[in-house]
Structure 1
């Protein structure tokens, strides 16, 4: 048995030596972010950023632009302008123009989903307009732009409104029956990157977007349980309140799943603290009023979002998938015609644990 094991290991080592090409870090250009726009004819215009570390603190970004039919070919052509080979294994962010997103993103993501060297944690984003302007001035910063953008996206999923997002979640939502994917939108203003909104797609085709504000907070609450993020709303007259989310939990209940008009109840429980309040008094009665007003405001915004999703014919909350889990013989082609007929009820219970600043 030991001899057989040794033979097996030897075979694996032999195969590894045949198929794995060793690369020395100093001899390759590690691409960390790429942007894609519409090129000439059927080609895509690729903007490629490669960081070169000069010291622990200084980075020189080199910018390349190439055109190719396939996104991977663009990297190969970029190597034609570089004195060392370009490698995408450490790519952290992909940016697609809105024009390409309105075409079909899977045409450009297909090679990435089949490449074992690509991390499924890779962030996929859509540019507010074109992707090239986001990277053209990368040489003016001394930070790795790919790392900078990935930190921006990671920070906003961990500490703010942005729902969990990466290549893995996009592909999961794309292939999941009764569910549609979403992607963050990024922009640049005065050389500062920012998340501009969230785009929604049907069959990997852009259909609509919401701004990165309290609508995004409501969307994330309806989509997944999470902590962090805040919600500001009107209480009465000229009085406003801001609630910091400590934790929120989501529960979905499906009624009459087999009928032609099922009901889906999205029940949310949120614990938070009163971060800011422009009123003068805070007592038990005030806290109850603030909680009630937030629940009304939140449920109103959730209704507006659901109407937009219905208008765009997208299902980012996976309502079809919730019915599929409760109905035998569920079929996608039977679900889509009744999507606009289902009754969706959103109910949130807000508990304010403590108070913060009084203006």
Structure 2
């Protein structure tokens, strides 16, 4: 017999459904992802730490779970909301069912929810906190929900970052990149390694002095969860990387931190961008790109106009939000979306090539890069 579960939003909306995953109670900011595939990559993306994910795709779980599709060592989301949940899976290479995976990783979820209604509601009302429970009554949920902190002003990177520095790539590679892990996805580092880079991935609160002592040829600032304006330590580090005059590349949270380090503010969006089908225009080439995105904060358009050293390079074609910037006076650029696209289209992987080219241009003979 299937067990009931409840979803309660902070504005009082109560939804009844069926329990999936771990039996328990969990809460966080509720948001939706419009991707048609790649649910396991979404659930293991550290940028989703502390959030409840609503999958807009009607059927979830039909191709099971596979170790190779992990973007980090564990599931990161706070909870899961789906419409039709597949108890069986059809992919032969899958290791286990999604139900088994959710139980093993401790994710509390709810199924048989009208997700179309819920997503339309969130688009209208905006992102807010919510709680899922398969063990508490509706009357008990509001008191538990009040204990969950707002994402606005919340620093989370220190909770998801690596505890110890580690290496990825060929140690004999000609290019060394210091990677600041604020909640990095595995496929990002793999994209750098595939382009002949030897990466040392540092914990979020590593000082610039420690990173620079490794003598990298460039710095990469990763994606991650939480409010960028609450990360004074990371803003300071990014400022120092810019002062080093070495090439700098930031993605998602790294994009926001590059903006903050350049004197441009960020703000919390109404409901954010999360999905695999977001159209972006490259203002440098004039070309359009379909992109994979996951962010609830954005860079201020007004501050960009006042800053002579920062140039917008990419914009979102749906709402004109800033999707990419570059420093005119430094070898530094960033994008709000995910060029590694795991999951998602590969339109934007050229950005990794641009970063490597920027590093190689620092010396006359690329083979002599330190």
User: What is the TM-score with the length of structure 1 in the denominator?
Assistant: 0.24
Larger radius of gyration, structure 1 or 2?
A: 1
More helix by share: 1
User: What is the TM-score with the length of structure 2 in the denominator?
Assistant: 0.23
Larger relative contact order, structure 1 or 2 (CA cutoff 8 Å, min sep 6): 2
